[in-house]
Amino acid sequence: MQLDTPNLSYIKELADGDAEFEASLITILKKELPKEKEAFIESVQNKNYQNSAEHVHKIKHKISILGLEKSYSFAISFEEELKKGNPKRYETFLSILQKMEEFLMKI
């Protein structure tokens, strides 16, 4: 899968020129994403795929906020696969999370 590139377009649209609100959203993403990623990895390692799907469900909203349309579509289907006990595309999802974290570190 060709990964799309994170951006701040949606956050800027939501903030509508309110720099404080924009900064607040980014701070929340920076704080929550690493914790959610860690919980997701742990649940997959424990083969608790239903719980893994719940983590993907939470994370996919952050994917959307960072303008990753293709990755959001991927997350929707991956969530359903996990509900059926299929973690086959785990590495691809991890690469999406990594790309998001790298982007957030730079801003």
Q: At how many degrees (to 10) do helices 49-65 and 69-83 cross?
A: 170
User: What DSSP letter does each residue of 44-66 carry, written as one string?
Assistant: HHTT-HHHHHHHHHHHHHHHHHT
What pTM does this model have? 0.93
Report whether pLDDT(13) > 70.
yes
Query: Could you tell me if 72 and 64 are in contact, meaning their C-beta atoms sit under 8 angstroms apart?
Result: yes
Mean pLDDT for the stretch of residues 13-40? 97
Q: Is 67 left (phi over 0), alpha (psi -120 to 50) or beta?
A: left
Q: Please state, in angstroms and rounded to a whole number, the distance separating the CA atoms of residues 98 and 94.
A: 6
Residues 58-102 have pLDDT tens digits of: 999 999 999 999 999 999 999 999 999 999 999 999 999 999 999
